[in-house]
Structure 1
Amino acid sequence: MNNTVQLEKAKHDRNRFDCGITALNNYLKIMASQQAKKDNTRTFVLEDEHCPEHIIGYYTLTMTPIDAEGLPEKLQKKHYNVTSGGLIARLAVDQRYNGKGFGEWLLIDALRKLLAASETVAFPVVIVDAKDGAGHFYEKYGFTAFKDASNKLFITIADIRASISLG
């Protein structure tokens, strides 16, 4: 399978992409390039190897403030002075490619990038905002819901490191 690459406005056909969720489609079409130019987010796309301008799926990474009080008590004590974590802000697969494991592939790719980033700029957790009931998808990969928000989940960098090799 191809690697993900950063979204290129001139190359990738953002208007063709349709994951079935308007907000995720519109972010890719309208906001992703603008946010990258401002150094607010990075959006990575998985290209169709037969037609590289077609986007199989994408995810967006950035940093986010952490409210440690939403974490389990053990983690609150361990990370009481931490103020931010990595954020998978969006993750979506075009409906034409559903059921082929691309969502899992994109999630693992995003976690690998965040794990590598954490080796340079330390942060203890990765957070995801699970849109439209997607929380169960993330829970299968070890994410846990925050105590005060069931659609906001986290996984520790230590858990990612234990389950994913960077190789």
Structure 2
Amino acid sequence: MMDTVQLDKTKHDRSRFDCGIVALNNYLKVMASQQAKKDNTRTFVLEDKQCPEHIIGFYTLTMTAINLPDLPGKLQKKHHSVTSGGLIARLTIDHRYKGQGFGEWLLVDALKKLLIASETIAFPIVIVDAKEGAANFYEKYGFTSFKDADNKLFITIADIRASIGELIY
């Protein structure tokens, strides 16, 4: 059974982590704990069961402003008074663990956490800022690109509930 935990800089070896993208590596090493302490973001890591201080991958969650005109007309009408949504700000896997399904597992885990959060603090949409070349990964799981930004995608909480809600409730 896999489970994510919040990043713990006293336990997790952040300097060992390498996903091949300098900005993401640096975020984990330098910014993630600071941002959590300020209540700006929460970073969750998947630990290697054999060596829990090794990080298989991580994702960062927060809230973000929604620009309604960027959404399809039907969603603009339905959510005309909404100003914010959930954001998967980062999601990546250490290069040593790629190709083993951990990215998909982390995405589903992030969506479960956001779905549970939406039951307490309502928000209708989850947004992801995909890294260059990663948009296809998110589209396979039901995300749709914003009109003017191929690497910025969204999925509705209703769609998340319909696809993975039974895994939670």
Name 1:75's counterpart in structure 2. 75
In the alignment, structure 1 residue 6 sits paired with structure 2 residue 12 = no
Name 2:156's counterpart in structure 1. 156
Name 1:40's counterpart in structure 2. 40
Query: 4+ residue runs of structure 1 moved beyond 6 angstroms?
Result: none
- Any idea what SS the aligned residue of 1:126 has? strand
Separation in 2 of the partners of 1:143 and 1:26?
27
In the alignment, structure 1 residue 144 sits paired with structure 2 residue 144 = yes
What code does the residue aligned with 2:20 have?
G
Offset at 1:72?
Answer: 0.6
What code does the residue aligned with 1:126 have?
V
RMSD: 0.6
What code does the residue aligned with 2:16 have?
R
Separation in 2 of the partners of 1:35 and 1:132?
24
In the alignment, structure 1 residue 65 sits paired with structure 2 residue 49 = no
- Any idea what SS the aligned residue of 1:8 has? coil
What code does the residue aligned with 2:116 have?
A
In the alignment, structure 1 residue 95 sits paired with structure 2 residue 79 = no
Separation in 1 of the partners of 2:17 and 2:119?
33
Q: Under a length normalisation based on structure 2, what TM-score does the superposition of the two structures give?
A: 0.98
Separation in 1 of the partners of 2:98 and 2:111?
20
Separation in 2 of the partners of 1:14 and 1:82?
36
Offset at 1:148?
Answer: 1.5
Separation in 2 of the partners of 1:130 and 1:20?
15
Offset at 1:2?
Answer: 2.1
Q: Deviations over 1:99-134 (max 9, x none)?
A: 100000000000000000000000000000001220
Q: Under a length normalisation based on structure 1, what TM-score does the superposition of the two structures give?
A: 0.99
Separation in 2 of the partners of 1:72 and 1:141?
18
Separation in 1 of the partners of 2:101 and 2:23?
22
What code does the residue aligned with 1:163 have?
S
Q: Percent identity?
A: 78
What code does the residue aligned with 2:35 have?
Q
Task: Show structure 1 runs of 5+ residues with no match.
Answer: none
